[in-house]
């Protein structure tokens, strides 16, 4: 494969990584909570979509939309029914609880669907591509994923910057107690933040499931890539997460091209560690203190 | 009916008791001042009235209704707004956004971004600036303006003059007089006794979680206030 081709693939792959990372960044940004089950919840969404396709014989598009709605509701209930109770003075509690949640989801999925690899079939779109020259062609589906991630991030950023509720998200992130004094119910805001995060990661999980095969054990890998994208991009910057995802995707595909197919992931991690060492706050860190 | 009434309110932080059976009434249109040295329980008192702290016993009435069941984010809509100690503006939001968020759960009324900036003209050129870039005095004006955006009936002010230049303090106290004229009842906590006694029409001195002296400033001698303040 040509280098330019590989680079384009890497950039497009970065869009998917960014989509996985966005919800993680949002949840951390609004409530300073690290959700270790984030990747598993994305994979869970892929299985929910698969289940809907198989049970009700609907297309991937409808199944996907329905899954996103379901995960939105699950996110709100999960936050208000469980995770809100872990927040407080002790930062390790949500980590322990979401770690347990991650194990429960993985094993639940294995019990229900077995450990076999699954795929979501979206039809023709998976295989068609745009030919730019003899050596260069771009797959429609990866391009679509990339565009989707840009649209989602733009919508989320607009929501946070321009709407009354988005302002309440940022105020709560700045100072929870002062936000309460403004009449903002932080538990509700946290519920909404998790709902949006899970809707976005559901979208990411479904797109992943169409792009490649998936199985119940993939969540933690998705989580690590998401972490790497968020940290490289800079905590608190959603557009930074896209850049972080692209850097990670590029490193992985270029690494595979240069050193052989097994080496891509390692190169990705090494680039991440280098960024962490040289620029620990990431590319676009937005940290503001009073 | 009193705007605010406290009946034998006890508040604890863990094992530490911050308020002991505190009772008092604030009447309509009053400027009620709580003075006292550090650790007297004044900030705890305001936090408890605003709902950030729960009393372990005793009751708080607002316009005759008990408010204990209402969380802090409900009390703004009822008409209680707190300007917290340390200003606590939202640092990453602009000045304008800070004011907008002040109206989030508040009541309808005369206060809006325009009237707040009329009260504090110094905020006008700063509307697009991030609140974190403001000076202490500007942040304090913003914090008071933000609380006014909720159109409170009862405004709680916690150490609003702390760390500010005298000219700014003067401006804030002038604003306070103006607020009372517009029908707001004010409960103000201060360590700086001199300033607050010029605007207050009732004063309570807090010492180690108890009210050590209470009355009209004109009825209290400065010796009595000093004694109550330091517990001598």
- pLDDT bracket for residue A286 (50, 70, 90): low
For B128-152, the pLDDT digits (tens) are 999 999 999 999 999 999 999 999 9
Model's pTM, two decimal places?
A: 0.92
Residue of A nearest to B82 (CA): A181
- pLDDT bracket for residue B92 (50, 70, 90): very high
Query: Residue A122 pLDDT > 90, yes or no?
Result: no
Q: What pLDDT is recorded for position B16?
A: 92
For A159-207, the pLDDT digits (tens) are 999 999 999 999 999 999 999 999 999 999 999 999 999 999 999 999 9
Q: Which of A215-219, B199-203, B224-228 has the lowest mean pLDDT?
A: B224-228
- Has domain B4-230 been given CATH number 3.40.710.10? no
Percent of chain B predicted with pLDDT > 70? 100
- Residue A169 distance to chain B (closest CA, Å): 10
- pLDDT bracket for residue A127 (50, 70, 90): confident
Buried b (16+ CB within 10 A) or exposed e, B134-172: beebbbbbbbbbbbbbbbbbbbbbbbbbeebeeebbebb
Hey, what are A187's tokens? 């538990």
Q: How far apart are CA A86 and CA A224, in angstroms?
A: 22
Tell me which residue of A76, A72, A48 sits closest to A62, measured CA to CA: A48
Residue of A nearest to B47 (CA): A181
Measuring CA to CA, how many Å separate A183 from each of A187, A289, B49, B60?
12, 22, 14, 19
Using the beta-carbon criterion (under 8 Å), do A174 and B93 form an inter-chain contact? yes
Residue A290, chain B, CB below 8 Å: the answer is yes
Spell out the long-range contacts of A137-145 with Cβ–Cβ below 8 A and sequence spacing 24 or more. Answer: A137/A5, A138/A8, A138/A12, A139/A12, A141/A210, A141/A211, A142/A9, A142/A12, A142/A13, A142/A15, A142/A211, A143/A12, A145/A12, A145/A15, A145/A16, A145/A19, A145/A207, A145/A211
- pLDDT bracket for residue A290 (50, 70, 90): very low
Q: Which of A81-90, B161-170, B176-185 has the lowest mean pLDDT?
A: B161-170
Query: Residue B220 pLDDT > 90, yes or no?
Result: no
Give the nearest partner residue to B90 out of A164, A174, A286, using CB atoms: A174
Residue B93, chain A, CB below 8 Å: the answer is yes
Average predicted confidence (pLDDT) for chain A? 93
Residue A89, chain B, CB below 8 Å: the answer is no
Looking at per-residue pLDDT, the higher value among A73 and B37 belongs to A73
Residue B217, chain A, CB below 8 Å: the answer is no
A236, HSE (Cβ side, Cα atoms, 13 Å): 14
- pLDDT bracket for residue A288 (50, 70, 90): very low
Reported ipTM: the value is: 0.92
- pLDDT bracket for residue A1 (50, 70, 90): low
Hey, what are A6's tokens? 């590989």
Query: Residue B37 pLDDT > 80, yes or no?
Result: yes
- Please check whether residue B189 is in contact with residue B46, taking contact to mean a CB–CB distance below 8 angstroms: yes
Q: What pLDDT is recorded for position B106?
A: 81
Q: Would you list the domain boundaries of chain A?
A: 3-217
For A40-51, the pLDDT digits (tens) are 999 999 999 999
Q: What pLDDT is recorded for position B150?
A: 95
Q: Which of A91-100, A124-133, A180-189, B5-14 has the lowest mean pLDDT?
A: A124-133
Residue B76, chain A, CB below 8 Å: the answer is yes
Query: Residue A264 pLDDT > 70, yes or no?
Result: yes
Buried b (16+ CB within 10 A) or exposed e, A261-270: eeebbebbbe
Residue of A nearest to B51 (CA): A181
Using the beta-carbon criterion (under 8 Å), do B92 and A164 form an inter-chain contact? no
Element of type H or E holding B49 = helix B42-50
- Residue B73 distance to chain A (closest CA, Å): 4
Contact residues, chain A, for B47 at CB < 8 Å:
none
Residue A185, chain B, CB below 8 Å: the answer is yes
Contact residues, chain A, for B146 at CB < 8 Å:
182
Q: Across residues A276-285, what is the average pLDDT? A: 88
- pLDDT bracket for residue A287 (50, 70, 90): low
Hey, what are A257's tokens? 């091209």
- pLDDT bracket for residue B224 (50, 70, 90): confident
Q: What pLDDT is recorded for position A121?
A: 86
Q: What pLDDT is recorded for position A289?
A: 42
Percent of chain A predicted with pLDDT > 70? 98
Query: Residue B164 pLDDT > 90, yes or no?
Result: no
Q: Across residues A105-111, what is the average pLDDT? A: 97
């Amino acid at each position: 494969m040509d280098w330019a081709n590989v680079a384009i693939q890497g950039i497009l792959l970065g869009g998917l990584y960014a989509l996985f990372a966005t919800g993680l960044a949002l949840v951390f940004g609004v409530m300073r909570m690290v959700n270790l089950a984030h990747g598993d919840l994305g994979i869970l969404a892929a299985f929910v979509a698969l289940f809907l396709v198989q049970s009700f014989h609907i297309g991937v598009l409808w199944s996907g939309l329905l899954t996103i709605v379901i995960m939105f509701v699950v996110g709100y209930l999960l936050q208000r029914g469980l995770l809100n109770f872990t927040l407080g003075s002790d930062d390790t509690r949500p980590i322990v609880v979401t770690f347990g949640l991650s194990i429960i989801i993985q094993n639940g999925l294995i019990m229900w669907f077995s450990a076999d690899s699954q795929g979501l079939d979206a039809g023709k779109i998976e295989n068609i591509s745009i030919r730019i020259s003899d050596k260069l062609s771009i797959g429609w589906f990866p391009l679509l994923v990339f565009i989707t991630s840009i649209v989602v991030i733009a919508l989320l950023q607009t929501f946070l910057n321009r709407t009354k509720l988005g302002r309440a998200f940022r105020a709560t992130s700045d100072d929870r107690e002062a936000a309460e004094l403004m009449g903002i119910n932080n538990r509700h805001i946290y519920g909404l933040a998790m709902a949006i995060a899970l809707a976005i990661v559901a979208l990411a999980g479904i797109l992943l499931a169409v792009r490649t095969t998936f199985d119940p054990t993939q969540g933690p890998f998705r989580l690590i890539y998401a972490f790497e994208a968020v940290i490289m991009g800079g905590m608190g910057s959603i557009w930074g997460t896209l850049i972080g995802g692209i850097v990670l995707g590029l490193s992985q595909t270029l690494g595979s091209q240069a050193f052989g197919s097994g080496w891509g992931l390692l190169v990705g991690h090494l680039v991440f560690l280098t960024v962490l060492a040289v620029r620990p706050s990431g590319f676009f860190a937005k940290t503001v203190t009073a | 009916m009193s705007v605010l009434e406290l009946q034998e309110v006890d508040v604890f932080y863990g094992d530490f008791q911050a308020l002991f059976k505190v009772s008092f009434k604030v009447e309509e249109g009053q400027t009620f001042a709580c003075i006292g040295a550090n650790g007297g329980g004044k900030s705890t008192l305001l936090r408890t009235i605003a709902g950030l702290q729960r009393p372990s016993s005793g009751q708080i009435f607002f316009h005759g209704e008990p408010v204990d069941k209402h969380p802090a984010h409900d009390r703004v809509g009822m008409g209680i707004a707190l300007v917290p100690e340390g200003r606590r503006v939202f640092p990453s939001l602009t000045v304008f956004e800070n004011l907008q968020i002040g109206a989030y759960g508040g009541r309808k009324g005369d206060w809006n971004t325009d009237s707040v900036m009329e009260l504090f003209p110094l905020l006008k050129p700063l509307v697009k600036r991030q609140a974190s870039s403001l000076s202490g005095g500007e942040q304090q004006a913003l914090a008071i303006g933000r609380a006014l955006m909720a159109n409170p009936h009862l405004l709680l002010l916690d150490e609003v003059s702390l760390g500010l230049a005298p000219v700014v303090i003067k401006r804030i106290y002038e604003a306070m007089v103006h607020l009372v004229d517009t029908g707001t009842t004010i409960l103000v906590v201060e360590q700086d006794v001199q300033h607050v006694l010029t605007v207050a029409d009732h004063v309570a001195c807090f010492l180690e979680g108890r009210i050590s002296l209470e009355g009209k400033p004109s009825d209290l001698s400065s010796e009595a206030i000093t004694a109550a303040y330091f517990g001598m």
